[in-house]
Structure 1
Amino acid sequence: MELDDLKSLLQRHFTDGLVTVVGSGLSCAEGLPGMEALAAYLQATIEAGLTDDDKALWAELSPMITANGLEAALLAKPPSATLEAAIVAKTAELIAQREREIVTEIFNRTRTLRFTILLKHILKPTTGVPVITTNYDRLIEIASEEAGLGVDTLFVGQFAGHLNEQESRLSFCREVTLKGKNVQYRYRPRVNVFKPHGSLDWYYREGKPVSYAGDLPLPRLIITPGLNKFRNGYESPFDRHRERANGAIDKASRFLVLGYGFNDDHLETHLTPRIRSGVPTLLLTHTLSDNARKLAQEHANVIAIQQGFVAGKDGSSVFVNKTDHFVPNLALWDLAAFISEVLEP
């Protein structure tokens, strides 16, 4: 396939009905830790604060994590409730620390997030731009505000914001007009961010989920890898965000998938069947997971781009019509390069 034809094909994907799914790959590209870095941090720091029973359990988990990775180990041997709480605390500690460093650069105008630039090229429906992310960090929310858009996370309030979907939506209403017997609402352009695995700014207060932007010495509401995430995913506010995410997936005309590996059962009950049904899908990632590669190889509606090497040349491996093509000297799998080469020609 000629490069110009490929770029034209990719440009046509950015039209009505687009739902964006963001995985850890995009946050890693911005400098946040991935699963390997998190596993290393847990191995180095978690044991000191554990009870004797949890130390014994961690001693069993630790070599499994080294051999098979964090998620595989936690699936094979679910942690106790207290060990899980320690894992959540250490996970939030590491991500929040790295997030602060990135946010400082953004605040000082020395960094612009890739997603901020992308939003300039995405159509803004009056109902909001739907974005689903399995990440805990707030980079999508920050990127959206930096692009001049509002952010609807279903929470209302600046201090201990409460979960109220209707109030959150109506807070973006800017004008109400009456035409005949019909009431029309005009809303501020916004991004609807759905986070089925939780967020660094979610806490419990008096048994109810709240949103607080600062750091508190309290457990954060995030779901870590392992079997327990399926149990926790059906509690508030995870359940409502999961339902809204799945609702957006069911209505989508096309998908943009950024750094997501198709390994999360909370979303896969809706996302993969929709893709398999023929919904056009564009996938950008550093390395395709086995599940993502299978989708690209078996379904012509999927365009998947990952890093590629051929004959010593760096470039991009592009699946189009179930066929792998190599594009030399262009990192189209990286969102920054993709925007520059495809959306800002």
Structure 2
Amino acid sequence: MHALGEHLVTQIPKTLSPQDFDLWQMIYPEIQKEGLEAALLRYAPTASLEASIVQSSGEFIASAEAKIIAEVFSRSKILRLTKLLPHLIVPDSGIPIITTNYDRLVEVACEEGGLGVDTMFNGHFAARLEPEHSHWSFCRSARVVNRVPRVRFAKRAKVFKPHGSLDWYHRDGDPVRYAGSLPLPRLIITPGLNKFRSGYESPFDKHRDKGNESIDKAQKFLIIGYGFNDDHLETHLTPRIKSGVGTLIITHTLSEKARTIALSYKNVIALDFQSRTISSGTRVIADGAETDIPEIDLWDLDGLVKGVLSA
């Protein structure tokens, strides 16, 4: 988010009308001081300014994404989530993954790990939002045993993206998924005040509702790099954590909200980078107390897999 904010500060002024430029003059100092989300929460952009932010954000993230995907495709890089997947139990119904990021690296990591990916879109060229068709596309066999239907599905992840995706566009008024880049606005929700309005439009609403449904049914939570700053998810996630659902939070730096949750509930373990006295290590919050583990980066997904799950 910090890198994206810096990119917007330098690129956005080139595209603005005089009216939007005046508003941007108020927003960009806050980005430099408080960060992108705080700035857009303080000053709601106009529709035209938001369109410029979406366009510039999409270009910036797509460029970074393309470099990583090229490394994965050439086998010079393995994504951390790909390394994690063999250590997770994948239920027959699919493992739900909720991501507020726009990039498609979750999808890439899952496919590299041997899982199918259900995004609720069906088709290849201009895939339509068809949750049922997408679901049944993973059916591999069906038979009747003692008059009871038995259906077998491929191992898969169900990826929910309540803030949109780089491959979502509008076509004839309907959301479609297209893997390449088009000279059209992407369907992504920027941080700030306007995300609450946009979050109730299609396809964001379908992904938000399915994501929240998965949160309501979950028996455990693994939360990676999330700051607990999204009301669309918090109305379901935080109450479930407070109800006692076992939760592991790993991130480089815990937000104040995440730290408060970890300290307040004994069903929560949180791991983040311990930088107070040493150059590397992990801060562990468990049972309402903080402990430092030097020289072991368990807060990093790669370090967690190597240091704990593969031990």
Task: Give the TM-score category using the shorter length.
Answer: over 0.9
The answer to whether the 8 A contact 1:316-1:326 is kept is: yes
Alignment of 1:304-343 (within 5 A): 304-309=270-275, 311-312=277-278, 314-343=280-309
Q: Deviations over 1:149-175 (max 9, x none)?
A: 100000000111000111001000000
Task: Tell me how large the CA RMSD over aligned residues is.
Answer: 0.9
- The residue aligned with 1:132 is 98
The answer to whether the 8 A contact 1:196-1:239 is kept is: yes
Choose the corresponding residue for 2:214, options 248, 252, 271: 248
Report which stretch shifted further, 319-328 or 227-236: 319-328
- The residue aligned with 2:138 is 172
Q: 1:187 to 1:60 in 2, by over 3 A?
A: same
The alignment status of 1:73 with 2:43, answered yes or no, reads no
Higher relative contact order (CA 8 A, sep 6+): 1
Q: 1:167 to 1:63 in 2, by over 3 A?
A: same
Report which stretch shifted further, 306-315 or 38-47: 306-315
The answer to whether the 8 A contact 2:278-2:294 is kept is: no
- The residue aligned with 2:179 is 213
Shift in Å at residue 66 of structure 1?
Answer: 1.9
The alignment status of 1:192 with 2:143, answered yes or no, reads no
Distance in 2 (CA, whole Å) between partners of 1:288 and 1:163 is 35
Tell me the amino acid that sits aligned with residue 89 of structure 1.
Answer: Q
Choose the corresponding residue for 1:271, options 224, 237, 247: 237
Tell me the amino acid that sits aligned with residue 117 of structure 1.
Answer: K
Runs of 4+ residues over 4 Å off in structure 1: none
The answer to whether the 8 A contact 1:173-1:186 is kept is: yes
TM-score normalised by length of structure 2: 0.98
The alignment status of 1:44 with 2:13, answered yes or no, reads no
Tell me the amino acid that sits aligned with residue 52 of structure 1.
Answer: P
Distance in 2 (CA, whole Å) between partners of 1:90 and 1:77 is 18
Alignment of 1:112-151 (within 5 A): 112-151=78-117
The answer to whether the 8 A contact 2:27-2:39 is kept is: yes
The alignment status of 1:283 with 2:236, answered yes or no, reads no
Shift in Å at residue 133 of structure 1?
Answer: 0.5
Identity level (%) = 53
Shift in Å at residue 180 of structure 1?
Answer: 2.1
* Number of residue-to-residue matches in the alignment: 311
Choose the corresponding residue for 2:200, options 211, 221, 234: 234
Q: Deviations over 1:230-255 (max 9, x none)?
A: 00000000000000000000000010
Unpaired runs of 5+ in structure 1? Answer: 1-34
Shift in Å at residue 333 of structure 1?
Answer: 0.2
